[in-house]
Amino acid sequence: MIEAIGRALLFDIDGTLANTDPLHLEAFNQVLGPRGHVFDHARFSRELQGFANVSIGDRFLPDETPERRAAILAEKEAIFRDLVVGQIEPLPGLMALLDRADAAGVPMVAVTNAPRLNAELLLSGLGITARFKAIVIGDELPHGKPHPLPYQEGLRFVGASAAASVAFEDSRSGVQSAAAAGIPTIGIRTSLSHADLVGAGAIASASAFDDPDLLVRLAAAMAW
């Protein structure tokens, strides 16, 4: 198999590979609710979804020290990891798409603002860790999403060009990050509408990875 030079598929993890957003919402409410911040789905999608914990702590825990903010949000992540055990299911069509990319020699990268423990847990739970050439963690970079740096790093890892690649995202901040890096981005409608995703910069949206229009678009973009 000859690797497809210049092309890549880049995936967010939460809400994109698996619909984990309801569990994140529950975990945030357990931790931030007693501190005066209660979220419904709409508020979660506007103010939490896709953002790095540092920025969430800055916004919702301004009176805490940076160390205390980190500890509170680490508690949230531990609650999420407990909740997600046994609940990790791939979005429809994901495994077939990964198979097709592998067969075509198109490298894949995971790009997330989630902590590394979460990212590794979800990829392992889906049984797809080995599929990805790299896992880019926004919190480990100078800038996370919506800054383009995480996706720029993803491209750099596999030597891919932005214009020849495709990214998949479910959040506004994620779409903004990938689009700002110059990558044509498909919004996955696990939480947001087509209008929301396109408004953030996606070129199209899909309900899942078995969406017929998505498959046609990918066949053309990846030349497979």
Active-site entry in 12, 21, 170, 211: 12
Active site residue 12: yes
Q: Which residues pair with 186 in a beta bridge?
A: 168, 204
Half-sphere exposure of 98 (CA within 13 A, CB side): 20
Give the ranges where the chain is alpha helix by DSSP (H).
21-32, 41-47, 53-60, 66-84, 94-104, 116-126, 149-158, 172-180, 194-200, 212-222
Active site residue 14: yes
Contact (Cβ atoms closer than 8 angstroms) between residue 133 and residue 154:
no
The amino acid occupying position 214 is L
Active-site entry in 14, 21, 170, 211: 14
Identify the CA nearest to 169 among candidates 152, 148, 190, 153. Answer: 190
Q: Which residues are catalytic?
A: 12, 14
